[in-house]
Amino acid sequence: MKITFPGGLKVLAEYKGFNIMTDQPAFSGGDGSAPAPFDFFLVSIGTCVGIYIKSFCAQRNIDTQNIVITQKMETNPQTRLIGKISFDIHLPEGFPEKYRDAIIHTANNCAVKRHMINAPEFEYNLFIGDET
């Protein structure tokens, strides 16, 4: 992944052939032209839960057309960080009862969540000049 700064408060990540632009909202001095980096973090959690549920259903030939997941975040007033993330999984009428508990278990296995619980080590190295 390569990170560059194309102007203003925009930050561009080039990753696996994709250009992923971020910006800060106008109230933070940005243009609001793209999601903020933290927005992508939250989206990665929700879409991870989504792909786990989608894969679970695909393995059992269950249609996902009418499944909707609503993600809600609650801020901890002391830390001013997110203290709780809740997922409401709306299943359509006729969803097989025998798989309802398994859907929760499947969602709970999301790799993004597991990485948050078992956080990686972070390391920062400085280079001067053209050493990229």
Q: How many domains does the chain have?
A: 2
| pTM over cut 0.85 | yes
* 129, 81: one domain: yes
- Helix (H, G, I), strand (E, B), or coil: what is residue 9? coil
* 10, 54: one domain: no
* 104, 62: one domain: yes
Domain that holds residue 66: 36-132
pLDDT of residue 132: 60
- For 43-83, the pLDDT digits (tens) are 999 999 999 999 999 999 999 999 999 999 999 999 999 99
Mean pLDDT within 29-40:
96
Find out whether 24 and 11 touch, Cβ atoms under 8 Å.
no
* 52, 29: one domain: no
Find out whether 73 and 42 touch, Cβ atoms under 8 Å.
yes
* 71, 87: one domain: yes
Structure tokens at 20: 């992923």
pLDDT of residue 131: 62
Mean pLDDT within 96-113:
96
